[in-house]
Amino acid sequence: MPISYRIDAPNRLVCCTATGVITLDELEAHDKRLQADPAFIFKETACVLWDFSATSRIDHSVAKYAQIAESWLVPAKSRRALVASPTGEVRNFLSLWVLHRTVRRDPHVKLFDSLEKARQWLNPPD
């Protein structure tokens, strides 16, 4: 399975990792698995960290992209950090998705070059 996740319930964090070539169908299947996971009881207040740094390509059609761009995993009020290499096709795809969410006035999704920066943004100091 090219997409895995780990639930950190005490910190209300879901860490997802995608490797190799993934499809939007696989992203949808991942979403369904996570939504059905009994440990994911904090859906409304979750933060999600997606690590795409080992992803070589996201195979997609425009129709599927539009569908997943509308809703991805958790409500718009939840923070979602995406990590990808600074250049390449995966970065371009994720940049378009973040732009789409920004146009929809979703300030809680950001794209990062490193896991460290993404974690800092997800867990700001009190």
Where in the chain are the domains?
Answer: 3-122
pLDDT of residue 35: 87
Q: What is the pLDDT of residues 33-84, one digit of tens each?
A: 998 999 998 878 889 899 999 988 888 765 565 566 555 555 566 788 888 8
Return the pLDDT at 7: 94
Compute the radius of gyration of the chain from its Cα atoms: 14
User: Which pTM value belongs to this model?
Assistant: 0.76
**Tokens at 22, concatenated:** 């993934």
CATH number of 3-122: 3.30.750.24, 3.40.50.11750, 3.90.1150.10, 3.40.50.300? 3.30.750.24
Which residue type is seen at 66? Answer: A
Length of the chain as a residue count = 126
